[in-house]
Amino acid sequence: MVDNLNAILRCCIAKVRRWPVPPNWTAGEWMQEVAAHGAAAGYEACCHFDPARGADPAVFLTSRVMGRVLTRYRQEWCFATRFAPWTENSGEDTAPRSSQDLDENLRDAVRRLPAADRWLVSQIVWHDRDQRDLALELGISQPAVSKRYKRIVERLREVSRPI
């Protein structure tokens, strides 16, 4: 199965090369990022593959690798569209806030979150944990974790909106 992993990674990376490179990345750096996430997902998939379920190993690996890479791609574009420098509005004299002000406001907002919400955000964002795993750990459903996370993110977005 591990023998197939390198071929599958090359195939997945070839597909990703056709996607537009996210802002703030060079093509080479982005491909290194994709390769790293793909390799990590492939390794995890090899560890979690259960031949007793009757799944095709190549399909299983490909879906896991492409799923992780697509998630990373979406995260990068979401970040880029959310935190890109604001352009001047037509006719308005309001200048955008500096990124340092936004960073401070966001840090303050995260600090003000209840401990449980801070923990959930840190697990999803910084530790790249799956919502399904967190739901099992918390003893709630995955949609409940998703809804809670979306509510937290929306509160944090309110803080970082331009004046």
* Containing structural domain, residue 78: 2-83
Q: What is the pLDDT of residue 131?
A: 92
Q: What is the pLDDT of residue 95?
A: 46
Q: What is the CATH number of the domain that holds 18?
A: 1.10.1740
Report the candidate in 140, 117, 120 with the shortest Cα–Cα distance to residue 129. Answer: 120
Distance CA 46, CA 53 (A): 14
Intervals of the chain under pLDDT 70: 1-3, 83-103, 159-163
Report the candidate in 130, 16, 5, 15 with the shortest Cα–Cα distance to residue 61. Answer: 5
Whether residues 23 and 77 fall in one domain: yes
Report if residue 16 sits inside a domain: yes
Report if residue 92 sits inside a domain: no
Q: What is the pLDDT of residue 84?
A: 57
Q: What is the pLDDT of residue 88?
A: 41
Whether residues 78 and 105 fall in one domain: no
Q: How many domains does the chain have?
A: 2
Whether residues 66 and 103 fall in one domain: no
What are 62-65's contacts with CB under 8 Å, separation 24+? 62/8, 62/11, 62/12, 65/8, 65/9, 65/12, 65/38, 65/41
Whether residues 45 and 19 fall in one domain: yes
The phi, psi pair for 137, rounded to 5°, reads -65, -40
Distance CA 74, CA 16 (A): 12
- What does DSSP assign to residue 104? H
Report if residue 131 sits inside a domain: yes
Report if residue 78 sits inside a domain: yes
Whether residues 118 and 79 fall in one domain: no
Quick: pLDDT tens for 6-31: 888 888 889 989 988 888 788 899 99
